[in-house]
Amino acid sequence: MPGPASVRFEDVAFRHRPGLPYVHQQVSFEVPGTGMTAFVGPSGAGKSTVFALIERFYEATGGRVLVDGKDVRDWSLPQLRSAIGYVEQDAAALAGTLRENLVFAAPGATDDEIRDVLARTKLDTLVERLPHGWDTPVGHRGSKLSGGERQRIAIARALLRKPRLLLLDEATSQLDAVNELALRDVITEVARETTVLVVAHRLSTVTGADRIVVMDAGRVRSVGTHEELVGQDRLYAQLTATQLLAPAR
């Protein structure tokens, strides 16, 4: 069983088309296996593009994107994608039951595996509360769920596939304190055994990260821990002071 994946950007440049401005310019950073790395920066800084380049939704215009030390262009696409769990910003739940929502991308998952993932994502109390447990329909687009629950379901769905790398584009919607805490705990827990990269919009996620990559206008401004960056990076200090790491899209 291969362990958590490492990620490395080497002077990555990227633009969507010739003639368009560069979205990444000389982006470099290194992420070892396991642990949580938070990406912060103003809207349009290029954070989500980091994920898109790792997944090879796009290919770098210059430089290299490496997963496990291997250029993503040298990976077979199915192999690369199956190593990665990707949780989109404002992840929607699907019509159908909670169980169907979870096994959607992992049809072979056993009940034990589902129970385990529900406990890890702190959804076991939700299941107890639902009238028919995990066989309860959660409504079109998960409208009967809170934003925090929907995102934890999306994480649970990704975890059932046993990813070696979890990419999480955090929701910007305001979560209540309980949901926010639960989400932070889940991410911290997952990061013990999987490499977690999170585009973080919440201060509580960022302060708990092992390293923070501060991006602005397609460049990496600085990398460090919360304590290091507060004193060293004016933009970072500003973002954390307003408790608003990025405006809602």
Ligand X SMILES: Nc1ncnc2c1ncn2[C@@H]1O[C@H](COP(=O)(O)OP(=O)(O)O)[C@@H](O)[C@H]1O
Site string for Mg ion, 98-117 (x = CB under 5 A): --------------------
- The closest residue (CB) to Mg ion is 48
φ/ψ of residue 94, rounded to 5: -100, 160
CA-CA distance, 31 to 120, in Å (whole number)?
24
Query: Could you tell which of ligand X, Mg ion, none binds residue 49, using a CB distance below 5 to 8 A set by kind?
Result: ligand X
Nearer to ligand X, 14 or 134 (CB): 14
Query: Could you tell which of Mg ion, ligand X, none binds residue 45, using a CB distance below 5 to 8 A set by kind?
Result: ligand X
User: Which stretches does DSSP call E strand in the chain?
Assistant: 7-14, 24-31, 35-40, 62-67, 70-71, 84-87, 165-169, 195-199, 211-216, 219-224
- Considering the complex, what minimum distance in angstroms separates the CB of residue 51 from ligand X? 8
Question: Between residue 4 and residue 43, which ones bind ligand X under the rule CB under 6 A?
Answer: 16, 20, 23, 41, 43
Contacting residue, 25, 34, 37, 48, with Mg ion by CB under 5 A? 48
φ/ψ of residue 38, rounded to 5: -105, 135
Q: Does 240 bind ligand X (CB under 6 A)?
A: no
> 245, 247, 220: which is closest to 28 by C-alpha?
220
Size of the site for ligand X (CB under 6 A): 11
CA-CA distance, 113 to 36, in Å (whole number)?
23
Question: Between residue 36 and residue 75, which ones bind ligand X under the rule CB under 6 A?
Answer: 41, 43-49
Query: Could you tell which of ligand X, Mg ion, none binds residue 96, using a CB distance below 5 to 8 A set by kind?
Result: none
> 79, 62, 82: which is closest to 70 by C-alpha?
79
Find out whether 230 and 236 touch, Cβ atoms under 8 Å.
Answer: yes
Q: Which residues bind ligand X (CB under 6 A)?
A: 16, 20, 23, 41, 43-49
Q: Which residues bind Mg ion (CB under 5 A)?
A: 48
